[in-house]
Amino acid sequence: MILKAVLLVTTFVVLSANAKSIQKGDQDWWKHATFYQIYPRSFKDSNNDGNGDLRGILDKFSHLVDAGVDGVWLSPIYESPQVDQGYDISNYTAIDPMYGTLDELKELIATAHDNGIRIILDYVPNHTSDQHAWFKASENRTEGYEDYYVWVDGTPDQPPNNWLSCFRGSAWKWSEKRQQYYLHQFTEQQPDLNYRNPKVHEEMKNVLKYYLDLGVDGFRIDAVLYAYEDEQLRDEPRSNIPGIAPDDHDYLLPIYTANLPETYDLVYEWRKYVDEYSEERGLDAKVLMTEVYADLNETIPYYGTRDGSILGAHFTFNFFLVKNFDLNISTANDLQRIVNTWMNALPDIYTSNWVLGNHDNRRYPTRLGVENKDGFLMLLTLLPGVAVTYNGEEFGQEDGEVTYDQGQDPSARDPAIFEQVSRDFERTPLQWDNTTNAGFNEGNKTWLPVSKKYHDLNLASQLDEGEISYFQNYKALVRKRKEDPARLGSTDIWAMSNDTIVLKRSYEDKHIVVAFKLGWHNSTTEETILVPGISCENGTIALTSADSKQKVGDVVSVQSLVLQPHEGLVIDVAC
């Protein structure tokens, strides 16, 4: 006990050296924030059981302070049988013992706030675990719980309709006990809650309140587009995408199981709830960010407006750089188009946001080319609005190596689809240093294998502030985001050729220019560009990609700027 107390004091002292505790009264704190997603199971394992945990996050908290992020979003830490890595929750208001205790969560919130960092929790409203007390009671037809889930009559061999689970096969599971089918849009251990029941709305608001009372600063809302389904249970039409197996979710067009109009209203209801909560108590805004993979025209309404005020999410994740950009076929023109399409669809009152990776997608250095990773980081951080970092991205971690036998992702339990579908590659443990298990723990086991790349690719090797490294660039870019042109400036983006993209952020007479020559069309030759829209001749190099020949502080001509393949430059211009 005494030892523990000493350790806590030490931690506090070390961190408070950098302390910039939260400025209360800043309602707009989130509008230009850098959010950092922690996937807790892979972050840091403090007790050598192979799984990352809350104590591990506390042990590494000084790294988040050093990185300079404004907010941390934790993927689920709640009690769960872990069928879908914690996205199958058996009790929303209990912490899974694998991750630690409620006291540790409280300590994490306090530590974060002492260091000026906000804490966002994951909120998983579409479904619970089949081990949740509500589901057990509902399956049992216990009074009051009968309609907590989507129950439909049928016979064991005839599901109610053709709907498919996101994780393959019918979305319906027969319950022997209740002699009815229940709906599950993910695994069969994840029964869908019934949002046509007002009691479910109450219960789920109580979950929000529970964590708001603990002082969290907002929620990332998981898979919300699946909240409602067609009441008439109509069959969905074929998508007619070639080569898709009949049990694959993409075999059908999800017109009756995703993005129903009621889903938007649900988000607006939660927004009202968190706004009222903070207004009544005189607190800073509590932020809602929604996870929706959909067409632009179905994504933007999650923000929602009426009479000039925003009704819905503070922002809904912009996944278009993740989903619509393919290293093999896309050009700088495509990149420009993806950025402009999003910006043009977004009314000025909405806050933009940019994402290159998360726990559901291949890590972007792997996806977009290891040599391109600095350039993409420059774009991600200097485009307007919120920037989101998936843990490990800040030091350039790449996908790990995972075999089928080592795989853990329930959506990929079939060797034929493993490589293509599994999300295990982006979930391997964080590579802290070049010690055993990359410093993730000291034990023999890890829940997913540590990537063999860790000997060369780890955070510790990038901590020297005097050397150009990916992490030093990350820190510098997070700081640069606070400068006027990045925070408030206008945005222009141009494709100069198939390979080269220029982003210009301008505020009064100050400009921040990102010039980036992507290297994927086998371009081996340098390219000379003229940065558009700038009247003076010279700028000063603020940052370079790792193997650039340019030096920070050098003066370069923006009228005739030479770029090498894969080179990314950030240039300050004043005129």
Ligand X SMILES: *[C@@H]1O[C@H](CO)[C@@H](O)[C@H](O)[C@H]1NC(C)=O
Q: Please list the active-site residues.
A: 222, 291
Taking contact as CB under 6 A, which single stretch among the options 33-41, 87-95, 371-379, 506-514 is the one that binds ligand X?
A: 87-95
Q: Which is nearer to ligand X, 293 or 404 (CB)?
A: 293
**In this chain, which residue has its C-beta nearest to ligand X?**
87
Question: Shortest distance, CB of residue 5 to ligand X, whole angstroms?
Answer: 25
> Which residue, 359 or 504, is less far from ligand X as judged by CB?
359
Three-state SS string across 255-300, please?
Answer: CCCCCCHHHHHHHHHHHHHHHHHHHHHCCCCCEEEECCCCCHHHHH
Q: Which does residue 53 touch among ligand X, Ca ion, none (CB within 5 to 8 A, set by kind)?
A: Ca ion
Residue 284 or 499: which CB sits closer to ligand X? 499
Q: State how beta strands 118-123 and 71-74 pair.
A: parallel
* 53 binds Ca ion per the rule CB under 5 A: yes
Map residues 90-119 to x or -, x wherever contact with ligand X holds by CB under 6 A. -x-xx-------------------------
535's contact among ligand X, Ca ion, none, with CB below 5 to 8 A by partner kind, is none
- Binder among 23, 240, 297, 525 for ligand X (CB under 6 A): 297
Is 447 a residue that touches Ca ion (CB under 5 A)? no
The answer to whether the CB of 493 falls within 8 A of the CB of 482 is no
Q: How far is CA 199 from CA 88, 89, 144, 436, 555, in A?
A: 20, 18, 9, 49, 64
The amino acid present at 133, given as its one-letter code, is: A
Q: Which stretch binds ligand X (CB under 6 A): 4-12, 28-36, 136-144, 280-288?
A: 136-144
Three-state secondary structure call for residue 172: strand
- Binders of ligand X among 234-293, rule CB under 6 A? 293
Instruction: Name the H helices within 28-100.
Output: 40-43, 54-59, 61-67
Pick the binder of ligand X from 74, 193, 223, 450 (CB under 6 A): 223
Question: Which of 122, 128, 127 lies closest to 77, judged by CA?
Answer: 122
302 is an interface residue for Ca ion by CB under 5 A: no
Report the alpha-carbon distance of residue 257 to residue 196 in Å, rounded: 14
CB atoms within 10 A of CB 326: 11
Residue 188 contacts ligand X per CB under 6 A: no
| Strand, helix or coil for residue 375 | helix
Does residue 230 touch Ca ion according to CB under 5 A? no
Angstrom distance (rounded) from CA 525 to CA 504? 24
| Interatomic CA distance for residues 191 and 19, integer angstroms | 43
Per DSSP, the three-state class of 15 is helix
- The number of residues that bind Ca ion (CB under 5 A) is 8
* Residue (29 or 454) nearer to ligand X, CB: 454
Q: Residue 414 binds which one of Ca ion, ligand X, none, with CB within 5 to 8 A depending on kind?
A: none
Q: What is the DSSP string of 510-552?
A: EEEEEEEE---S---S-EEE--TT--SSEEEEEEE-TT-S--T
Determine the Cα–Cα distance for residues 184 and 164; give it in Å rounded to an integer: 9
Residues 471-510 that bind ligand X (CB under 6 A): 498
Closer residue to ligand X in complex, CB, 23/524:
524
**Of 11, 47, 131, 340, which lies in the binding site for Ca ion, with binding defined by CB under 5 A?**
47
Determine, following the binding rule CB under 5 A, whether residue 45 of this chain makes contact with Ca ion: yes
107: part of which helix (H) or strand (E)? helix 102-114
Contacting residues toward ligand X, per CB under 6 A: 48, 84, 87, 91, 93-94, 124, 133, 136-137, 140, 142, 186, 222-223, 293, 295, 297-298, 326, 328, 331, 360, 434, 442-444, 455-456, 498, 521-522, 537-538, 555
